[in-house]
Structure 1
Amino acid sequence: MAKMKIFYGWWIVAAGVLIMSILHPLITTNWGLYVKPVTQDMGFSRSAFGIISTIVYGVTVLLSPYLGKWLAQKNTQLIQGISIVGLAVSYASFSFGQNLIEFYISAIFMGAFSIGAIALPISIVITNWFVKKRGLAISIALAGSGIGGAIISPIMTKVIQNYGWRTSYLIFAAAMLIIALPMVLVMKKSPETMGLKAYGADEAATAAQKDITPKAQYNMTLSEVKKYSFFWVYLFGIFCLSFVGFGSLSQFAAFVADHHGAVFAASILSLFLIVVTLGKISLGWVYDKFGTKIGTVYICIVFALSFVLMLFPDSKQLMVVMAVLYGLGVCTGTVCPPVITASMFGSKHYGEIYGFVNLSVYLGAAVSVPAVAAIYDKTGSYQGAWLLCIALMLVSMITLLYSDIKCRSFTTKQMSQQQTNRQATA
């Protein structure tokens, strides 16, 4: 058999880019474009419409631990394919909604199918395929959401303006099936299914033989990590990170449109989404090059600065700078959890552990979306929400650093003990 010129794992990354480019922005980033037209047409408050996202994320919280385990142990491609079809149908059903109850029912199904369709299976599969450059591979795949969101934003704005929001739901539901569903065929679960090894697996094995204690990976199980406080502190840090990212993102387009109109908001949304693409790739590189601690400090500070600029929304110039910083910072919600989780706890039981971590991600999302909307409904401004986001970013940075340091200390001791035991029995 001739040697493949391009490692197959990179084709999986490319498929992940396309899946993320259409599915993720439609239910997160670009969802905010529906806020004003739907609420004005249907007479909903923004907080009532925001409950749709709460339901989506709430369902994700309940099902993520199970989906993470199923995706890791069962037929990943089949589960992802069914989930994409279900997600498209659920998305299309919003077109026929006549009241809040019907919108909320659609949200239940959209949340359930989104778990097995988007980031979770992509992260699990790529983690199986990469040892070396794992952070970069995951971040490139997840960067698809920025590329797709930037392309979708002006198109969706035009579709809503010219044909209405109901038609928009149908058009983009069809796009989900056309673009994402065929990519499932590429998403082979592991290199072993194709007679291959994970990228960098041989190098890691050689390095482990030469220097076991600092560089070998210690793989923790879910039942094991639950016993230690640093895991729960880590989950809280991820919760804060997700609260800020998802909560602000749900109102980002509406926030800019309130001050400068829908056209400028769409252009700002496109700008920040282009930056997201570069930001996710660069953040993966930072994590691979400098480690999770430096990467976390860098991205948390950048994200916090974007909210500082949001406190001065009347300046278009500052909003442009804000969009750049926000585009870099919002990468925290998608890149940080999978990359840090694999780095801290190992890849052997990654699917099971990350399914549990994903619970914390979407719990933060479920709580934050109505919270940010409620602050606006009660005060007529997002100022209070942005101040809260600044505070939570600092809390997240501190807790993630603490848990990272404690976990590294624990795993180093465990690997040293294993080495001592092997030497004693040799």
Structure 2
Amino acid sequence: MVATTEERSEFALGWKVLFASVLGVACGASPIPFNVIGFTVEPLISEFGWTRTQILMPITIFGIIASLLAPFFGSLADKYGVRKVALYSLLAFGISFGMIALTPAAKVASTLYIYYALWVLVGLVGIGSTPVSWSRAINLWFYRHRGLALGILLMGTSLAAIVVPKLAVWGIENYGWRSMFAIIAILPLFIALPLGYFLFREPRTDERPQAITSATGHLTGVTLGSALKDYRFWLIWVSIAIIATAFGGAFINMPAMLSDRGLEAQTAASVMGVLGIGILTGRIITGALLDRFWAGFVAFPLLCLPAISCYILLGGSITFPMAALAGFLLGFAAGAESDLIAYLTGRYFGMAHYGKIYGMLYMPFGFFSALSPILYANVRDTAGSYDPVLSVAVFAFVAGGSLLLLLGRYPDNLPEASVSNKLATEAS
């Protein structure tokens, strides 16, 4: 008798796809812009005299555009298959991100708007290279070990946080901030894209875990309309919005915060590397815990950790060990949150319309992560310190985590996909 997917190792079947997806996430539009832009603050102030708020505005522009487009890209992955969406978007992201190097040098008003326009392009084409796409494939390959697999997938953002800040600082110091964008663009174009082309795909019908399909072999899950009527969707949405608002600005402004407290750029880059290790650790530990315990019990304590980070960052000078601890705890919680979005989407709403629903839940993550850096920077520009916004963030992290305690048990049965969705899935 032929062994079922459950009787075989999910990792034996899906490791190639998982490996390609990790690199796709690492080199995609989710982590790279956020790991780079904080190191452009001083060079752009020096060259153009722009304010911190002006300099960090592109990450808000990028993030808002990307978050609004997330449900659209998710629906494309549902309809046409995730491989096409992920690889084409990865290609477009690499090209558009490298094009930021073409920002003119003239100190005129139009330079700022050209710089912003280049970031708009990144937002328009890059969202398909984020976990919105890659996580769909992983959810289709894994069920019993889904939490761990998603944790491994999202290690890609950890790898980016470890490698990209150092590479960005090296590029800026040796070739200037413009060339740095072209250097970073090598990662999606010449590392992730070739590997994705050869290794990344969705499972065939017979390779899917039986738990995500009906008796007839079709994917199960609620429609987007049904999800929007479910209180659990909105609990997750609001929790993500609160945590993202508190986290995004702390992450992007971390180099500037540390500079204010007397640490040099290379030391700040080292702290960002520790933050990346925290994200990596948070991914794996959270993923493993989600496979064993209910998500609410896993999420609440982990999402309270960055409140400690914000408390550490308050005040005057700071030592490297304390800065590294703040970075680690902040990263650990970030790893937990990203795992949770993909995991909760699959467990509460199923896979039949995963891309659309995940896209809607990614929207507050992208939108408020993008808005947050400007809020933090504006507080710094007006108050002369990050302390007021860090004080608010302490309470925001605790509030956002507590909402997930209200989700209730996972649903036992999910409906079979509609006829149109069956055909689209089979065609992909």
TM-score range normalised by the length of the shorter chain: 0.7 to 0.9
TM-score w.r.t. the length of structure 2 is: 0.86
Counterpart Cα distance in 2 of 1:141 and 1:233: 25
Counterpart residue number, 2:163: 151
Q: 1:121 to 1:313 in 2, by over 3 A?
A: farther
Counterpart Cα distance in 2 of 1:15 and 1:91: 21
Counterpart residue number, 2:51: 45
Letter in 2 for 1:393: F
How far does the alpha carbon of each residue in 1:208-235 deviate from its partner, in whole angstroms, 9 at most, with x for none? 99xxxxxxx9832211121233322321
Match status 1:91 vs 2:104: no
Task: Report the Cα offset of residue 69 of structure 1.
Answer: 0.5
Counterpart Cα distance in 1 of 2:212 and 2:126: 36
Q: 1:187 to 1:71 in 2, by over 3 A?
A: farther
| 1:128–1:189 contact (8 Å) kept in structure 2 | no
Counterpart residue number, 1:212: none
Counterpart Cα distance in 2 of 1:8 and 1:223: 33
Alignment of 1:240-319 (within 5 A): 240-259=242-261, 260-312=263-315, 314-316=317-319, 317-319=321-323
| 2:237–2:361 contact (8 Å) kept in structure 1 | yes
Counterpart residue number, 1:376: 380
How far does the alpha carbon of each residue in 1:141-186 deviate from its partner, in whole angstroms, 9 at most, with x for none? 1112212321222232122112111111111112320011113224
Alignment of 1:69-80 (within 5 A): 69-80=75-86
Task: Report the Cα offset of residue 412 of structure 1.
Answer: 5.8
How far does the alpha carbon of each residue in 1:98-144 deviate from its partner, in whole angstroms, 9 at most, with x for none? 31101111111111222111211111111111111111111101112
| 1:245–1:332 contact (8 Å) kept in structure 2 | no
1:27 pairs with 33, 39, 53, which one?
A: 33
| 1:256–1:313 contact (8 Å) kept in structure 2 | no
Task: Report the Cα offset of residue 187 of structure 1.
Answer: 5.5
How far does the alpha carbon of each residue in 1:346-382 deviate from its partner, in whole angstroms, 9 at most, with x for none? 2232112111111121121232121111111111111
Q: 1:155 to 1:64 in 2, by over 3 A?
A: closer
Counterpart Cα distance in 1 of 2:150 and 2:316: 33
How far does the alpha carbon of each residue in 1:255-309 deviate from its partner, in whole angstroms, 9 at most, with x for none? 1122212121111111221222122111111221222111111211212221121
What are the ranges of 5 or more consecutive residues in structure 1 without an aligned counterpart?
Answer: 210-216, 416-426
Q: Which has the higher helix share?
A: 1
How far does the alpha carbon of each residue in 1:369-422 deviate from its partner, in whole angstroms, 9 at most, with x for none? 2111111111111111211211211221122222x12xx38x46999xxxxxxx
Letter in 2 for 1:67: F
2:182 pairs with 164, 170, 182, which one?
A: 170
Match status 1:130 vs 2:142: yes
Q: 1:293 to 1:269 in 2, by over 3 A?
A: same
Secondary structure of 1:166's partner? helix
Match status 1:230 vs 2:235: no
| 1:296–1:397 contact (8 Å) kept in structure 2 | yes
Q: 1:205 to 1:238 in 2, by over 3 A?
A: closer
Task: Report the Cα offset of residue 313 of structure 1.
Answer: 5.3
Letter in 2 for 1:353: I
Task: Report the Cα offset of residue 29 of structure 1.
Answer: 2.4
| 1:11–1:186 contact (8 Å) kept in structure 2 | no
| 1:30–1:149 contact (8 Å) kept in structure 2 | no
How far does the alpha carbon of each residue in 1:48-89 deviate from its partner, in whole angstroms, 9 at most, with x for none? 112101111111122111111111111422222221121112
Counterpart residue number, 2:424: none
Counterpart residue number, 1:8: 13
1:347 pairs with 348, 351, 358, which one?
A: 351
Counterpart Cα distance in 1 of 2:231 and 2:31: 34
Counterpart Cα distance in 1 of 2:16 and 2:360: 27
Counterpart Cα distance in 2 of 1:413 and 1:139: 25
Counterpart Cα distance in 2 of 1:90 and 1:175: 13
| 1:67–1:116 contact (8 Å) kept in structure 2 | yes
Counterpart Cα distance in 2 of 1:295 and 1:389: 21
Q: 1:64 to 1:401 in 2, by over 3 A?
A: same
Q: 1:130 to 1:413 in 2, by over 3 A?
A: closer
CA RMSD of aligned residues (A): 2.6
Alignment of 1:105-144 (within 5 A): 105-144=117-156
Task: Report the Cα offset of residue 205 of structure 1.
Answer: 8.5
Q: 1:168 to 1:126 in 2, by over 3 A?
A: same
Counterpart residue number, 2:422: none
What fraction of aligned residue pairs are identical, expressed as a percent?
24
